[in-house]
Amino acid sequence: MALRVSPGAGENQPPPLEGYDLFSENRPLAEALEREGGGAWEARARELGRLLGGEPLEWGRLANEHPPTLHTHDRFGNRIDEVEFHPAWHRLLELGVTNGLHALPWREPEPGAHVARAALFVTLSQVEAGVGCPLSMTAAAVPALRAEPALAAEWEPRLTSLAYDPGLRPAAAKAGALCGMAMTERQGGSDVRANTTRARPDGDGWLLDGHKWFCSAPMSDAFLVLAQAPDGLSCFLVPRVNEDGERNGIRLERLKDKLGNRSNASAEIALESASAWLVGEEGRGVPTILEMVVQTRLDCVLGSTALMRRAVAEATHHAAHRAAFGRQLVDQPLMANVLADLCVESEAATVTAIRLARAFDEGGPFRRLATAVAKYWVCKATPPLVAEALECLGGNGFVEESGLPRLYRESPLNSIWEGSGNVIALDVLRAIDREPESLEAFLAELEPEPRAHAEAALADADQPGARRLVEALATALQASLLLRHAPSEAADAFVATRLRGDRGRAYGTLPRGLAVDAIVDRHRPRL
């Protein structure tokens, strides 16, 4: 929310940025939904956008000011391992579930379903990013579980249910369910093959023993977990409770005290003879769970795109309603340069995110490389953009009431989640080497000048220069999409500055002669 001012506190204060349509006022997003094949869901997106611009903005604030707490025992000393959330968090998560953000492509498997879900996800994530984790994990679990048809038949109806009852976490058997994930261990981090959690056969199932340094969405009803089986690292589904409704062997050790994403719980857990079911082939756990990771990497891109949009909306709104030195900030040439630079970056992220979502609808080799490239660059570009947007509000931006500090704390997360920068950059090199068809499909997406830019970077690709390569591929893709779909002023500004390098190292260094006023006007929300 914009900075709230008490009555009589003074003039020249921007009104709170609330009471507006978070979808429709995001013109690049609304255009992309239609263009990329999700137009059948436009009415749903507009309805959600109007709703989110009201009271849910306050729910987002409350959910962050009252983070979850862990209750390991009840008053009688019985182990319960329950996570308590503020009611505002449950209300936001319920909005996500009832609008199908955890399940839309599986419930409505029609052309454009991934695009529609992406637009809804970006819209909700502008209000609060913390509920994105369980929504994302649950959506991504479905294709992973399809590696084991019997498990999918049992769990998919629950994971795709639109029912949400905050009083039932974990949910009762046969009710709607959420899914989390636990891969990372203390000693290995991204090197999951160093995991030490063990799986031993137990009748038709398995028992797991070990620990996980990060468990995402620990209040979930089930988790996808990596563990060492006799034939190697394998993927397992671990329910929170057994068929009798009793606690499974999952002990929540503590919740993480995180920089951002405060409304959402992340936990360290111990597994003590936890009942589990094998997903996919034994010894093929990484390829199995990577199906989930690919899906959640898309959501990293969507979540970062949403943070950019919310930051740009706040900055342009403030500048349009705040005067200094005799005129509105938005009318001052240097501020307009800064704002336009931010708007161009946000538009580039938006067109990329929704084009990537269409690749999930279509399948094909483009998705493989484009997901890694977009995940690296859009997420990496988010923290500096949010920092500059915060500065546009001056000292007000540094005050919690402005909402920008929460966005700033949130901004680095998606760059770390589901593979930090180096992991993703190396994955790009791996895709180019092992799946050349993905590079061919990626280059086919590029316009002539951006393609030449990408090919020049590819000619000099090696591991030390992997990040430079991925940045070149990403900016080439963004430039191509803007040239095809964005207003000429935004495309011209991006090509001149991101592709040809006619820009300084800070925001607000666009060259003279660009239509900065038109760029800003397109992105400024109207109340």
User: What one-character-per-residue DSSP string does 201-243 give?
Assistant: EETTEEEEEEEEEEEESTTSSEEEEEEEETTEEEEEEEESB-T
Model confidence pLDDT, tens digit, residues 37-81: 999 999 999 999 999 999 999 999 999 999 999 999 999 999 999
Model confidence pLDDT, tens digit, residues 160-187: 999 998 765 666 656 789 999 998 898 8
Q: Dmax of the chain from CA atoms?
A: 78
Confidence (pLDDT) at 174: 60
- Sequence-distant (6+) residues with CB within 8 A of 435 are 365, 368, 369
Query: Tokens 């005290």 — which residue?
Result: 257
Residue 87: asked if its preceding bond is cis (omega within 30°), the reply is: no
Strands 222-229 and 323-324: unpaired
Task: Please give the full DSSP string across 444-489, using - where no structure is assigned.
Answer: HTS-HHHHHHHHHHHTT--STTHHHHHHHHHHHHHHHHHHHHS-HH
Of 36, 147, 164, 119, the closest CA to residue 445 belongs to 36
Grouping H, G, I as helix, E, B as strand and the rest as coil, residue 180 is strand
Task: Please give the full DSSP string across 291-334, using - where no structure is assigned.
Answer: HHHHHHHHHHHHHHHHHHHHHHHHHHHHHHH-EETTEEGGGSHH
Alpha-carbon distances, residue 246 vs 171, 242, 322, 495 (angstroms): 12, 5, 58, 59
Residue 368 tokens read as 């493989």
Confidence (pLDDT) at 3: 43
Confidence (pLDDT) at 169: 61
Grouping H, G, I as helix, E, B as strand and the rest as coil, residue 274 is strand
End-to-end CA distance of the chain: 13
Confidence (pLDDT) at 173: 58
State the Cα–Cα distance between residues 56 and 88, nearest whole angstrom: 8
Confidence (pLDDT) at 189: 77
Confidence (pLDDT) at 8: 42
Confidence (pLDDT) at 367: 97
Alpha-carbon distances, residue 494 vs 9, 55, 473 (angstroms): 41, 36, 14
Q: Are 519 and 483 in contact (CB under 8 A)?
A: no
Confidence (pLDDT) at 9: 46
Model confidence pLDDT, tens digit, residues 414-455: 999 999 999 999 999 999 999 999 999 999 999 999 999 999
Q: Report residues of the chain scoring pLDDT below 70.
A: 1-10, 167-174
Length of the chain: 527
Q: Are 270 and 219 in contact (CB under 8 A)?
A: no
Alpha-carbon distances, residue 151 vs 215, 421, 490, 510 (angstroms): 21, 33, 48, 54
